[in-house]
Structure 1
Amino acid sequence: MPTRGALFDPVFGATRVSEHLSDQAWVTALLDVEAALSCAMATVGLADGEHCAAVATAAAELSQPGGLDIVALGRASATGGNPVIPLVKMLRERVGQEGVPASVVHPGATSQDIMDCALMLLTRRAGTVVLADLTRAADSAAHLARIHRSTPMVARTLGQQALPTTFGLLASSWFTALDAAAIRLEIVLSTLPVQFGGAAGTLAALYPDGLRIADALADELGLARQVTPWHTDRVTIAELATTLGIVAGAVSKPATDITVMASTELSEVAESAPGGSSAMPHKQNPVAAITARAAARRTPALVATALSNMDHEFARAAGPWHAEWETVTDLLRLAGGAAHQLSVSLTGLQVHTESMARNLDITGGLILAERVTKALSAHTDRARDIVTAAATSGTRLDRDPAIAEHLSETEIAELVDPAHYLGHATDLVDRALAERPTGGSR
C-alpha cells in the first residue's frame, strides 16, 4: 500500500517515516490494539487464552498487505465516521469461523479507544524514525562545531555584517536547538498513554474490572498507563503537536542558514550532493536544506489545528476528535521529513573557509568598527565620529588618515584582524559540546 504522498514523500525526506503512517500502517495499528485488548482480557482472567490467541492470529493475518481491502474499508467507514466499526465486524466474522465468541473482540471499548491507541502506536513507531534523524542531524552539526570551533566568519544580524564569530559557534546554535528538540520528543514518545474508557469514559461495561483491563492493555501495547480516560482531555495530543512543531522549527533554523550561506554571493558552504536545475547547468542548489525548510514551514498551521481542536465537548467530541487523525500523521510526516533532509544536508557539508575569510574582509575592516572605536576613544573624544565618517565614505579603516593620526599602522592592523576579536566564541563552543549527553556526541 503506498503512502499518502508517493510522489512527494521522497522529495521532502518522508519516505522512511511515511512507512509508519500509511493507510496500511493505520490498519495494522488498529488491529494491533484490538488484539492487545483481547490479550488484556485473558491476562486479567476474563477471557479464554486460546480465544485471544485466535484473535491475535486473525488480526495479524488481516494486517498483512492484501489481508483486507483498504479501499473497501474506507468506504465502509464513512457511515460511522471511523474505520473501527467495520474493522471490528470484519475481525469478529473472521474469528467467529473458529468458534470464538464475538464478545472476545472489542470488549467494553469504544471506537475512540481504538483510534487513540492506534494513533499512539503510530506516533511511537514514526516518532522513533524522526528522533533518529533529528539526532543524526544534531551529531553532524556538533561535528562541524568541533572541527570549526575557531574558524572565523561573519556574524550577521538583521541581514547585515555585525562582528566576527566562528563557524563553530554558529553550528553550536544548530545542534543545541536540535538536541533540545530531540530530548523533548524523546520524553513525549516515552510517555504516550493508553486510551481506554468505553462508551462514555466510565468503563461501565467492564465494571468492576475496567481499571485492571485498562492497565493490562497499556502493558500489552507498551504504552504508559492512563490515570483516567482522556477522551476529551487533549493535552496529550497538544503536547505531541507542539513538540513536533518545535522539532520542525529547530530544523528550519540551520536549513535556512545553510540555504543562505550556499548562495553564490556568500559561497560559504555547499552540500555534498547539491541539486541541479532543469534549465541552468551551472546551478548547485542546496536541495536537502531547501526541502527541509519547506517541510518545516508547513507545520505551524497543523500545530495550530491541533491546538484549536482541544475544546472537546463533554464525553465525546463531534468533529474536533476526527480532525486530529490526519493532522497528527501529517505533522509526523513533515517533521520527520524535515529532520531527515537536514541530516542529509549536514552530513558531509562542505565548509569553504576561504570564502568566509573573503567575506570578513569585504568591508575593509568595518566589521571591526566597534573594536577600533573603543581603542580610538582612549586618544580622542571624537572616536565614534571618526569611525562613522570612514564607514560612511567607504574608506578602509586601516587606510583612514583620521584614524592613523591616533593609532599606529601596527595597532590598526591588529585591531582589524577578525581572528583577534572573537570574544568567547571558542569557549561557548566548548561549553555547548561538553553539555551534550556524551560530552560532544550523542
Structure 2
Amino acid sequence: MTSAHDDAGLLAPGWTGSDAASATGDSAYLRALLDAEAALTRAQEALGLAPQGAGAAVTSAADDGGFDPRSLAGRARGGGNPVIPLVSDLTKAVGEEYGPYVHRGATSQDIMDTATMLVAVRSLDLLLADLARVQRALARLAAEHRDTPMPGRTLTQHAVPTTFGLKAAGWRSLVLDARDRVTAVRDSLPAQLGGAAGTLAAFTAYGATDATALPAAFARELGLRAPLLPWHTLRTPVADLAGCLALTAGALGKVATDVLTLARTEIAELAEGSGGGSSAMPHKANPVRSTLIAA
C-alpha cells in the first residue's frame, strides 16, 4: 500500500512522469535551494568575504544528498519557508570551521527567489527542447500537405478553400513565437540578492568594500542574469515567466482545439492516427492527446 503522502499524479495523466514534473518537484526545488546557498558562499569567497575553502566545503555538504524534503516542509511552518530549516541543516553538515559562512548576509527570500529562477531556467530548457521537436514535426506536416485542400472557415462557417499545409504552417508559427519568447525569458531570469531589506548592508558589515559586486558574482556562479536591483517586491521576472508560459500553453492549445474540432465525427477532416479507447463504446477512437494538451 502506498503512503497517503505519495503523489503519483493519478488525476494528472498529462503531467505524470514528465520531465517537467521532475524538474519542478520538491526534489528539484530542494536542489535549487542548495545550489543557491553554495553559490552564495563561493561568490563571497571569490570576493574575499569568506576564507579559502569555504565555498568548496559548503558545495560539498550541499551535494551529499542528506536533506529530507518532507522534514524541511514540516519544519517550514515555524518560519513560513523552507530556507530557515535548510540553513540550519546545511550549517551543521558543513561543520564548525566553515558553517558560519552558510547563508551569510542573505535573507530567506534571496534564496527562495534565486532557487525559483534556477528551477525555471532548468525547466525552460526542457520546454525549449520539446518546442523544437514540435516545430520540426509541424514543418514536416506542412510540407507533406502543402497541396491538401480543405475548407477555410470564418466565424466557424465554410468560407473559401485553403490547404491543410497552410493550417499546419500557422500552428508552427505559433510554436516558433512561443520558442522565441521562452528563450528570451530564460536568458533574462535574474538571481536575487539584497539581504534583509534589499540594501546589501549586511555584506558591508561583513567587510565588503563594494557590496554591489556581490550580486553579479552570485549570478555568475549560477548561470543567471545579474540583477540590476534587488527585486524582493519588483516581480517583473515572475510576470515575464508567467507570460511566456501562458503564450506557450495557448499556442499548443490552439493546435489541440483545432484537432478536437476537425476530428468530430460529423466533420472528420482530421484524426490523431490512433485514438484513445472508451470503457463503454469499443468503436470509439477518442482524440485523447489533444484532450490532454487542451487540459
TM-score of the aligned structures, taking structure 1 as reference length: 0.63
Q: CA deviation at 1:8?
A: 3.8
Residues 73 and 86 in structure 1, CA contact (< 8 A), matched pair in contact too: yes
Q: Distance in 1 between matches of 2:98 and 2:59?
A: 14
Residues 38 and 47 in structure 1, CA contact (< 8 A), matched pair in contact too: yes
Which structure's CA Rg is the greater one?
1
| SS state at 2:212 partner | helix
Instruction: Say if 2:196 is the partner of 1:193.
Output: no
Distance 1:12 1:91, change over 3 A: closer
| SS state at 2:85 partner | helix
Matches within 5 A, 1:347-362: none
Matches within 5 A, 1:236-247: 236-247=237-248
Q: Which residue in the other structure is 1:292 paired with?
A: 293
Residues 12 and 292 in structure 1, CA contact (< 8 A), matched pair in contact too: no
In structure 1, the gaps of 5 or more residues are 295-442
Residues 43 and 217 in structure 2, CA contact (< 8 A), matched pair in contact too: yes
1:10-63: CA deviation from partner (whole Å, max 9, x where unpaired) = 4346611110111111111100100111111111122123222111111011xx
Q: Which residue in the other structure is 2:32 paired with?
A: 29
Residues 57 and 98 in structure 2, CA contact (< 8 A), matched pair in contact too: no
Distance 1:86 1:194, change over 3 A: same
Please, which of 51, 54, 70 is the counterpart of residue 54 of structure 2? Answer: 51
Q: Which residue in the other structure is 1:82 paired with?
A: 81
Paired AA for residue 272 in structure 1: G
Distance 1:32 1:4, change over 3 A: farther
Q: Distance in 2 between matches of 1:13 and 1:147?
A: 33
Q: Which residue in the other structure is 1:16 paired with?
A: 19
Q: Distance in 1 between matches of 2:143 and 2:6?
A: 39
Q: Which residue in the other structure is 2:221 paired with?
A: 220
| SS state at 1:253 partner | helix
Paired AA for residue 34 in structure 1: E
Q: Which residue in the other structure is 1:180 paired with?
A: 177
Instruction: Say if 2:144 is the partner of 1:141.
Output: no
Q: CA deviation at 1:135?
A: 2.1
Which protein, 1 or 2, shows the higher relative CO under an 8 Å CA cutoff with sep ≥ 6?
1
Q: CA deviation at 1:262?
A: 1.6
| SS state at 1:210 partner | coil
Residues 3 and 21 in structure 1, CA contact (< 8 A), matched pair in contact too: no
Residues 8 and 16 in structure 2, CA contact (< 8 A), matched pair in contact too: no
Q: Which residue in the other structure is 1:440 paired with?
A: none
Q: Distance in 1 between matches of 2:222 and 2:42?
A: 10
Residues 198 and 232 in structure 2, CA contact (< 8 A), matched pair in contact too: yes
Q: Distance in 2 between matches of 1:244 and 1:275?
A: 27
Paired AA for residue 253 in structure 2: S
Residues 3 and 22 in structure 1, CA contact (< 8 A), matched pair in contact too: no
What value does the CA root-mean-square deviation take over the aligned residues?
1.6
Paired AA for residue 17 in structure 1: A
Aligned residues: 287
Matches within 5 A, 1:6-405: 6-12=9-15, 15-61=18-64, 64=65, 67-96=66-95, 99-207=96-204, 208-294=209-295
Residues 36 and 114 in structure 2, CA contact (< 8 A), matched pair in contact too: yes
Distance 1:272 1:179, change over 3 A: same
The percentage of counterpart residues that share the same residue type is: 47
TM-score of the aligned structures, taking structure 2 as reference length: 0.93
In structure 2, the gaps of 5 or more residues are none
| SS state at 2:238 partner | helix
| SS state at 2:151 partner | strand
| SS state at 1:193 partner | coil
Q: Distance in 2 between matches of 1:200 and 1:243?
A: 29
Paired AA for residue 169 in structure 2: S
Q: Distance in 2 between matches of 1:13 and 1:92?
A: 35
Distance 1:246 1:117, change over 3 A: same
1:274-296: CA deviation from partner (whole Å, max 9, x where unpaired) = 211111101111111111001xx
